[in-house]
Amino acid sequence: MIDVLWLVIALPLVGSTINLFFGKRIGQPLAGWVAFGFVALAWLVALPATFSLIDGSIPVETSYLFTWIPVVGADVALLWDPLSALMTMIVTGIGSLIHLYSIGYMRGDERYPRFFSFMNLFIASMMILVLSANYAMMFIGWELVGLSSYLLISFWFTKPAAAAAGKKAFIVNRIGDWGFLVALMIIFASFGTFDFQTIFASAPVVITVGTATAITLLLFVGAAGKSAQIPLYVWLPDAMEGPTPVSALIHAATMVTAGVFMIARSAVLFEMAPTTGAIVAVVGTLTALVAALIAVSQTDIKKVLAYSTISQLGYMVLAMGVGAYTAGIFHLTTHAFFKALLFLGAGSVIHAMAGDQDMRTMGGLRKKMPITFITMGAGWLALSGVFPFSGFWSKDEILAATFAKGGWYIGLWVIGLLVALLTAFYMTRLFVMTFLGKPRWEDGVHPHESPATMTIPLIILGLFTVSFGLVNTPALVAFEHFLEGSFQYVHHVQGLSMGAIIGLATIALIVAIAGIVWGWLKYHRSELPAEDGKFWRRSRDAFGVDEFYGRTIVEPGKKASEWAADVFDVKVLDGIAHGIGSGTRGFGDVLARLQTGQVRAYAGGVAIAGVLLIIVFLAVGGGF
Amino acid sequence: MTVTVSWFLVLAAGLFSIGVAGVLIRRNALVMFMSIELMLNAVNLTFVAVSKELGLIEGQVAALFVMVVAAAEVTIGLAIIVSVFRDRSSANVDELAELKG
């Protein structure tokens, strides 16, 4: 059954190639259907293998394809374990829904086939990343998703902002990739292989805690780049310049979770390094807090969701830091559903508002777009963490795991609760400003519900958003049980009693509802409240982090480049080249004087040389 | 008074020196050419004399080679000189300095 897994990578790749070369001839909207078909087919291929894994009829297994670099233990092999199965289902499942949505959303774009080609390329890259059975192949997938992300963010490259955002995402991710790459070098130096199974089985014996700390810290630098954590999160809000389905698929549901996935995959190494765990937890919590504080004041509907994504990724990273891997992956899964839903809903709204993304000119869309309204309502409640929507279960589990760690982690738990409050608040703000109240539309805008290709994915995702949390409740831990196969080397701690779990969940629920009530009271009025004051202004500029990076990193970097180009290159490098050139020429000029063109002078030279030679020969031979 | 091999060598050295002087001093290409012939034949004389003295045939073989090379050289050299002369009505080598660096 897992012998056909390679098709999960190959099918989207085929779709990508077809659309790249023949897309124009296939035309709209058929090109989109082709792309959707290949991703859906990939999902279908992986489906039976996933079910077999769930009911335990096949073991965790590696599907070996071919030898790539034997000396570093890097074969092209696919690891089929619960973690990769889950990621495969998320990426191909949500991916195909978003492809379906894009068929309608991208209609009329002149580079329609190109868009679908890139989308398919992304799915294939992501599958390489999650299915790889060693770090080397994972890194290839890692870089490929970076590339597809870049291509898709700057898809509308004629817009300078989109082109700049693509570049920014790529460059910031390079910083993370550097960490990942160095980590891989240390891993190879320590283990002599890249193979997951070998590394995880032998890690506690082969490496010391110090080495594990170095490796995991560097891996975390990579994860922070891909999963948009402090200090590398700045690329994600800008990535919203891409088409909305891209934001939904790549920058909310799948690619940004690659960092979390990578940490979960390397759980054995992270378990060995408690110092890294603490750093990861703190960075995750701070990211969640800062992003939530920025999200509350954004007026662009996609920017709110982007910062909310960063904030939720912070939760997942926090979960990784406290060793609650299943909880983190569970939140990753539920977040994939509801954040994809929210982005697609936002796309539907933007579509209806003829491209306007400013929530201040929305309002009252409830009647005009009932399906979008209801499905986004589900997303709103799920992200806010209201019982029994999926977000409640997963977020609560992370907070409970943090609390269970005790000690100073209680502080992180408190911050986590504060973030939950802010989350409920800004989501309510978004929902009320968009759908409720009086219409504030600009003249000439006539909102309408989106076509079926766009609403069907919303409905499906809405159903999952409502129900998926139930697969892992304190009473029924099916999800956690399923994932155990991937964390067999990880030591599990479960320190909370049922009463404590319910108590913590109640606190989280009260906080979430408080946030919703707060947001409702503030925004559900005839007039929008003025968002004045120091905090609101600072928050709207995202606390000036971009400007700070601009001043401290980008500007000095530009200065250094200018110096290298205008001074070092011109003076030093060109100087060396020109110096060699003119030196040779000058020496040649000196020698050229010997060449008088007078044949008798040459003959004289030959004669004198001949006489001198004879003298030398005689002297050496002892003739004198 | 017997004529020993030294006589021949001294004569050859004299002829060779005259040849060298001719090449270095005279400006006319044709005369320089003749001086070169003189040098070649001085060497030939050395070859043959020493060959006779030591009873070795190689010297005479070398002399024959030199004659062949000299004949070939004369052909080409004269052709060059003639065409130079046609070109500029002079065979003065001092005026032929086109290859000055």
Are residues A600 and B32, on separate chains, in Cβ contact within 8 Å?
yes
Residue A379, classified by CB atoms within 10 Å of its CB into exposed (0-12), middle (13-18) or buried (19+), is: buried
Q: What is the DSSP letter of A408?
A: T
Q: Which of A593, A598, A603 sits opposite B97 (nearest CB)?
A: A598
Among chain B residues, the shortest Cα distance to A601 is held by: B24
Q: In total, how many domains does chain A have? A: 3
Q: Which of B20, B93, B98 sits opposite A607 (nearest CB)?
A: B20
Residue A89, classified by CB atoms within 10 Å of its CB into exposed (0-12), middle (13-18) or buried (19+), is: middle
Among chain A residues, the shortest Cα distance to B98 is held by: A597
Three-state helix/strand/coil letters over A240-272: HHCCHHHHHHHHHHCHHHHHHHHHHHCHHHHHH
Indicate the average pLDDT of chain A: 87
Residue A414 covered by a domain: yes
Phi, psi for A77 (deg, rounded to 5):
-140, 145
One-letter amino acid for residue A515 of the chain: G
Residues of A engaging B, defined by a Cβ cutoff of 8 Å? 591-600, 603-604, 607
Question: Mind telling me how many Å the CA of B100 is from chain A's nearest CA?
Answer: 4
| A531 in the same domain as A395 | yes
Are residues A597 and B100, on separate chains, in Cβ contact within 8 Å?
yes
Q: Which of A593, A596, A603 sits opposite B24 (nearest CB)?
A: A603
Parent domain of B60: 5-99
Are residues B100 and A595, on separate chains, in Cβ contact within 8 Å?
yes
| A478 in the same domain as A611 | no
| A486 in the same domain as A562 | no
| A561 in the same domain as A462 | no
Quick one: which of A598, A603, A595, A614 has its CA closest to B19? A603
User: Coil, strand, or helix at residue A63?
Assistant: strand
Give me the residues of chain A with pLDDT under 50, please.
Answer: none
List Cα–Cα distances, A575 to A101, A562, A565, A581, in angstroms. Answer: 58, 17, 13, 10
Question: Mind telling me how many Å the CA of B31 is from chain A's nearest CA?
Answer: 12
Q: Which of A591, A595, A604 sits opposite B99 (nearest CB)?
A: A595
ipTM score: 0.83
Question: Mind telling me how many Å the CA of B28 is from chain A's nearest CA?
Answer: 11
Residue A615 covered by a domain: yes
Distance of alpha carbon A400 from alpha carbon A550, whole angstroms: 38
Q: Are A486 and A264 in contact (CB under 8 A)?
A: yes
The CATH number of the domain holding residue B60 is 1.10.287.3510
Distance of alpha carbon A123 from alpha carbon A35, whole angstroms: 10
List Cα–Cα distances, A321 to A214, A255, A271, A280, in angstroms. Answer: 15, 20, 9, 5
Are residues B23 and A591, on separate chains, in Cβ contact within 8 Å?
no
Are residues A600 and B23, on separate chains, in Cβ contact within 8 Å?
yes
Quick one: which of A136, A127, A132, A2 has its CA closest to A61? A2
Residue A556 covered by a domain: yes
- pTM for the complete prediction? 0.79
Residue A93 covered by a domain: no
Q: Which of B93, B98, B99 sits opposite A600 (nearest CB)?
A: B93
Task: Give the relative orientation of helices B29-54 and B5-25 as an angle to the nearest 10 degrees.
Answer: 160
Question: Mind telling me how many Å the CA of B101 is from chain A's nearest CA?
Answer: 5
Q: Quick one: pLDDT at residue A41?
A: 92
Are residues B100 and A600, on separate chains, in Cβ contact within 8 Å?
no
Are residues B93 and A597, on separate chains, in Cβ contact within 8 Å?
no
Q: Are A90 and A333 in contact (CB under 8 A)?
A: yes
Q: Quick one: pLDDT at residue A491?
A: 58
Per-residue pLDDT tens over the stretch B74-100: 899 999 989 988 988 887 888 877 777
Q: Which of B20, B27, B98 sits opposite A597 (nearest CB)?
A: B98
Question: Which residues in chain B touch residue A592, judged by CB atoms under 8 angstroms apart?
Answer: 101
Question: Which residues in chain B touch residue A598, judged by CB atoms under 8 angstroms apart?
Answer: 93-94, 97, 100
Per-residue pLDDT tens over the stretch A44-83: 999 888 888 888 777 778 888 888 887 777 788 888 888 8
Quick one: which of A376, A355, A367, A359 has its CA closest to A429? A359
Q: In total, how many domains does chain B have? A: 1
Are residues B101 and A599, on separate chains, in Cβ contact within 8 Å?
no
| A570 in the same domain as A548 | yes
| Cβ pairs bridging A and B (under 8 Å) | 35
Are residues B23 and A597, on separate chains, in Cβ contact within 8 Å?
no
Question: Mind telling me how many Å the CA of A608 is from chain B's nearest CA?
Answer: 11
> Which of A591, A600, A614 is the best mutation test for B, with the most CBs of B within 10 A?
A600
Residue A105 covered by a domain: no
Q: Are A20 and A117 in contact (CB under 8 A)?
A: yes
Cβ-based neighbours of A168, under 8 Å, separated by 6 or more:
A234, A235, A238
Question: Which residues in chain A touch residue B23, judged by CB atoms under 8 angstroms apart?
Answer: 600, 603, 607
| A570 in the same domain as A440 | no
| A441 in the same domain as A528 | yes
Cβ-based neighbours of A151, under 8 Å, separated by 6 or more:
A118, A121, A166
Are residues A600 and B101, on separate chains, in Cβ contact within 8 Å?
no
Scanning B71-100 for CB atoms below 8 A from A yields 93-94, 96-100
Cis peptide before A59 (omega within 30 of 0): no
Parent domain of A601: 585-624
Residue A79 covered by a domain: no
Q: Which of B23, B24, B97 sits opposite A597 (nearest CB)?
A: B97
Are residues A603 and B23, on separate chains, in Cβ contact within 8 Å?
yes
Per-residue pLDDT tens over the stretch B11-66: 999 999 999 999 888 888 889 889 999 999 999 999 999 999 899 899 999 999 99
| A431 in the same domain as A389 | yes
Are residues A607 and B32, on separate chains, in Cβ contact within 8 Å?
no
Size of chain B, expressed as the number of residues it contains: 101
Q: Are B85 and B73 in contact (CB under 8 A)?
A: no
Cis peptide before A556 (omega within 30 of 0): no
Distance of alpha carbon A333 from alpha carbon A600, whole angstroms: 95
